[in-house]
Structure formats: C-alpha cells, structure tokens
Structure 1
Amino acid sequence: MKKLLKIVGAILILFPIVLIGFLYLAFPKINPPEEIQARQDRENIERGRYLANHVSACIDCHSTRDWKRFSGPLLPESIGEGGEIFDQKIGFPGSFVAPNITPASLGTWTDGEILRAISSGISKNGRPLFPVMPHPAYGKMSKDDLLSIIAYLRNIAPIQKENEVSKPEFPFSLILRTIPQPAEFSSSPKKEDKIAYGKYLFNAAACSECHTKKDKGKPVEGMDLAGGFEFPLPNGTKIVSSNITPDKETGIGHWSEEKFVERFKSMEPPRYQPHLVKDGERQTIMPWTMYAGMTKDDLAAIFAYLQTVKPISNKI
C-alpha cells in the first residue's frame, strides 16, 4: 500500500511538470513567417493609414492618449511608441504592454514577421501575444489590408522607446501559449453587399473586444456586444462599455442609420476639438476622434451589420 501511495504521489508531482514542459515545447505552434513584402506605393500606404488610424485603430493602443481631454486623443509626438498597459485593474490575467511599432523598433523585422504577429499572435522571437491585440480578429482580414497597414507602419516617424515586457500570470502564461492560431485570411466583400462589408469592417475594428463583458480576458458567454466591460481611467473614474446590440430598450435598436453615422462624424476633427475634462467629469475610453475618421459609407455598413446581430437586454 505504501509503495502504491509513493507511486501515486510521484505521478502527482511529475504530471504538472510534464504538462508544463509539453506546453512550452509544443506551443505556440509557430509557422515560419511568409517571405512577403508590402507594396510601398502611395495608394497602399494611404489605405494602411486609414485602417490603422480609423478602422482597426492600431495606433490607438500603440500611442499615448491625453486623458486630460475627452476621449483621450493621441499625443501627436507619441504615434506608435507603445507603452499602454492592460493589466489586472481591468480584469486581465497579467500585465500586457503595447510594444513600440515605429520603424525604430520594427526595423529589424521582416514584413512577414510583422504579418504573422498581427494575424497569428506570434512575435518575432516566437513569444505568444495576448489577444488584447486582437490577432484572432485581424487574422480574418484580407492579407492585402494587413500588408497595407504594414506599409503605413514602415513610414511613420521612428521613436526610440523601450517599453516594459508583458508579464502574464501563472497559470495563464501556459494557456496563452495555446491561443495563437494560423491566420484564416479572407477577401474584403464588395461595398454593394452592405451587411457582409459591414461585418468585415466590424471584425477589422475589433469592436467586440470592448463591447463584450469579459472575465479574466475571456468573453462572458451569451453577452456578445451587450456591453458591460469596465474600464478604470487615470483620473480615478470608471466607465462601462455600452450595449451595441439591436435591443430596443437597452441597445441601439431604436437608432437610425443617420443617427449612428452622425454620432461618429460629430466627433471628427476639426469639427470637434476634444475639450478639457476635469476630475470627476464624464469621460470615455472610446477613441471617438479616431473612429470618426471612417467614411460615412463604412459607418453605415457597420450599422447595417449590427442590426442583424442577436439583441440582448443589458441595461448599462
């Protein structure tokens, strides 16, 4: 009996060690980066500028926001420098830091390595990336659109800045290794197919990341786009994301396309210049001035798609 207990005890001790070793050796599943190069022509760079600033809004998290002003507009001198922290304060299983994505940092990366990071969540050195940078969504975009973003990033001003390294908590540090998946690139639908095109843009904008409540970084089942994600702000206040399902009582089911589009375009500079916000006054984490740069047609397409999702009653 004692011998059996010793064997069981040894197994219990060795199993987690073997499991940890397996996860580190087997994951993430790293596919070699493609030997590919983004076109450096004006049209491609401008497409990338539009996506990176107004749709996918990569520049939002990878820059410094001025929280003294409404909606936290970007400080122009910080574009791409990274440093924003997503940690336990907003329910994440660790501290995750947006890296520097200016040419000063990405200069040693190939376009294929950048494409793999954006679309599959694997860094140049093989490190898995936490999906606060929503690579599962970006991996469903068209390869051409992602390459245009890369072309744009190659042309922003280089900034020499070293940021902290992301530190996932244990045991999530092991789970994180299993999250990166090969990209499933799609084609951008024709604009005439309004709902399909809106769905594509909605995915590219990763709206669900903020508008779905999460528990330790995982979406709460049955609450897709119903809001409820809490964000503490630097001024000590806390805001909650809104319900964007077509529920007529608690969501945007009573909104018209015109109202939806105007809500965004009303925040577009120079029409709107972010006003100063004092401590305790209303603030938002929504980067309105960035998304406001989307075209009216693109915003209308997103609205058309949102009218097709499941309405969920969730009063914020």
Structure 2
Amino acid sequence: MKKFFKVILFLVLAVVVIITAGITYVKTALPNVGPAPDLKVPLTAANIERGKYLVTSVAGCMDCHSPRDPNRLTFPVYTDSIGAGGLKFGHEFGLPGSFFSPNITPYAMSKYTDGELFKVITTGETRKGKPLFPIMPYLTFGKMDKMDIYAIIAYLRTIPSVAKDNIPEATRDFPVSILINTMPQKPAFTQRPNPADTVAYGKYLVAFAGCADCHTPQDDKGQPLPGMDLAGGNPFRMYTGGVVRTANITPDKETGIGLWNKAQFFAAIRKYQGKNLPAIHTGDFNTIMPYNTFSKMTDSDLSAVYAYLRTIKPVNNSVVKFDPQAK
C-alpha cells in the first residue's frame, strides 16, 4: 500500500512539475514573434492620405483609441481627445477581463520606431515584448497588405499629440492571464485586391473594418460559431441600460439584408451622417456601431462592401435589436 501511495505521489508531483514548467515557459518565453523590422515609413502625401482614409473611414482606429460619449447616440468620440486612448473594454462586452486602449497620438507613439509600431499593429507584441489581447485586431491587420499598414503608420505620425497618461493596466481573468502570451502571431500579409475586382476588394474591406468581430456570433469562449458568419446577435450591454445586439448582415431575405438594394445599404450606413446626435437616457436605444467612421467610406468602397456581402452564405437568424430590460 505504501508503494502504491508513493507511486501516486510521484505521478502527482510529475504532473505539477510539468504544468509549472509549461506555465513558466508560456509566461517567460512567449510571445516571440521575432524582432521588429528595420523600417522607416516615408511620410509622403500619398501615404498620409491613404492612411488617413483607412484610420478614419475603414479600420475605425479612433473609435477604440479615443474616449467616447456614452450618453449620446452612437457613442461619438470626444473631438478634443482623438487618439488619446483610455477607452475600457470589459466584462460588459463579454471579454475576459478589463482592457484599455492606449494613446496612439505622437505624444505616446514617439517612443516607438516605425518598425516597432509596425510589429505591434500586425503581431500583437509590444516593443517591450508584452502581448496584446486580440480585441486589438492585429490578427486581421497581420493579413492585410503591408503597404496599407505603412500608410496607417504614416498618418498616425502626423495627427495632433494629446497629452494623456495614466491609462490603467489591463486585468485579465484566468486562464486568459496565461494564454494571452500565446496569442500574438507572425503576420501573413496579402496583397490588396484590385478595386476593379469588386467582390474580392469588398471582402478585403470587410476584413479591414472588422465587421466579423461584432457581426459574427460567438460562443462563451469568444470563438465564432460555425456556419454563422456575419449572422448577427452578439450582445453588448449599454451604459444607459439594456442590451443591443448586432444585426444580421448576411443576404438572408427574412432576417438579414437580402432584400436591400445598394441605395438602401448606403442609406443604412450613412443614416446619422451630418446629424446632431441626440442625448441618450436610461433605457433608450443606443448602438456601438461606428456609423461616423463607415459613413465616410467612398461610394466605390461601400459598393464593394455591398457586392461582397451579397455573395456570402445567407443565414436565417432573427435578432432582437434592443432589449431595454435585459441585463
């Protein structure tokens, strides 16, 4: 019997040692996506113009990296602190912890070389070797055309500095607090499709805009539900009460946008453009959809997005847009 218990004790200790060694490796050796490239992005007019368009009209960088007004429709950014960071993404959005967007104005980003900035945007590993949680869409940006990432960097070098420090450190729930070190990945860049190939270019824009991040429903582990691409239904708790759910943007004719023509699609994206956004009170409908950003996409780019969405699999998924009583 003593021999039996010794064997059990040995096995338990072996398991503990293996687990401890594994955790130590993950926490100390990862992430490791390689060094930042030796890179100097040319601040040409073309680069800056393309970068401005991507940042302000497609990728929605400032919608996450700016403080936003939760008491007005569509959560507009505060115009005096664009890019200053500090926006919280926490359990109210179904995330495993509390994460805060960093200041991406030159006030903070001047510490980064172009290569270091390129690395963090496309891999999720900071200049100090720390991992980012993929609410920062580096897994997507690492699959875009690297010339577009260069353009984003060029534009960010030119925006006004906003002196904002003391952004809180992220807190991560277990086991994400350990697994996050495994999340950064080496990029796998693609070439931006020719805009003349409308569907392919639309697919590229939909990826760049992160549409699937909100419009594809997820399981309780944050993984996309198979067969439900862009079918909507992801819940977001509003600061003023209630739960809003993302729309089904598949071409399903009953529950999606299958009956919309292009003009209706344009109207939906631009419905708040140039309007005075009203105050929101407790129990009122609100949305985190970045209408202000996407409404500035060019007609040709919105046409490409529409063309691509017409080609994806229609999914019959009825969504209750807003429930003021939900918690």
1:237 aligns with 2:242: yes
Q: Residues 53 and 247 from structure 1, CA distance in 2 versus in 1: closer, same or farther, beyond 3 angstroms? A: same
Counterpart amino acid of 2:216? T
Match in the other structure for 1:298: 301
Larger CA deviation: 289-298 vs 232-241: 232-241
Q: Pairwise mapping of residues 47-58 of structure 1 onto structure 2 (< 5 A)?
A: 47-58=50-61
Q: How many residues align?
A: 314
The equivalent position to 1:277 in structure 2, one of 273, 277, 280, is 280
The equivalent position to 2:210 in structure 1, one of 206, 211, 226, is 206
Counterpart amino acid of 1:38? V
Shift of 1:233: 1.6
- 8 Å contact kept, 1:30–1:126: no
Distance 2:278 2:172 in 1: 36
The equivalent position to 1:2 in structure 2, one of 2, 5, 8, is 5
Q: Deviations over 1:12-40 (max 9, x none)?
A: 32222111012124421221111112221
Which structure 1 residue ranges, 5 or more long, are not aligned? none
Match in the other structure for 1:287: 290
Distance 1:2 1:74 in 2: 63
Shift of 1:172: 1.2
Distance 1:255 1:146 in 2: 33
Larger CA deviation: 24-33 vs 89-98: 24-33
- What SS does structure 1 have at the residue aligned with 2:99? strand
Shift of 1:291: 0.8
Match in the other structure for 1:17: 20
Match in the other structure for 1:161: 164
- 8 Å contact kept, 2:240–2:284: no
Distance 1:61 1:303 in 2: 24
Shift of 1:219: 2.0
Distance 1:68 1:86 in 2: 17
Larger CA deviation: 99-108 vs 273-282: 273-282
Q: Pairwise mapping of residues 1-316 of structure 1 onto structure 2 (< 5 A)?
A: 1-162=4-165, 163-214=167-218, 215-269=220-274, 272-316=275-319
Q: Deviations over 1:266-291 (max 9, x none)?
A: 3322xx23223232222111111111
Distance 2:58 2:98 in 1: 25
Counterpart amino acid of 2:262? E
Distance 1:289 1:160 in 2: 24
Match in the other structure for 2:324: none
What percentage of residue pairs aligned between the two structures are identical?
Answer: 40
- 8 Å contact kept, 2:241–2:284: no
Q: Deviations over 1:75-132 (max 9, x none)?
A: 1111011111111222111111111111111111011111111111111111111111
Larger CA deviation: 34-43 vs 127-136: 34-43
- What SS does structure 2 have at the residue aligned with 1:95? strand
Q: Deviations over 1:115-174 (max 9, x none)?
A: 111111111111111111111111111111111111111111111222111122121122
Counterpart amino acid of 1:191? P
- What SS does structure 2 have at the residue aligned with 1:124? coil
- What SS does structure 2 have at the residue aligned with 1:14? helix
Which structure 2 residue ranges, 5 or more long, are not aligned? 320-327
- 8 Å contact kept, 1:93–1:217: no
- What SS does structure 1 have at the residue aligned with 2:204? helix
- What SS does structure 1 have at the residue aligned with 2:292? helix
- 8 Å contact kept, 1:139–1:183: yes
- 8 Å contact kept, 1:244–1:306: yes
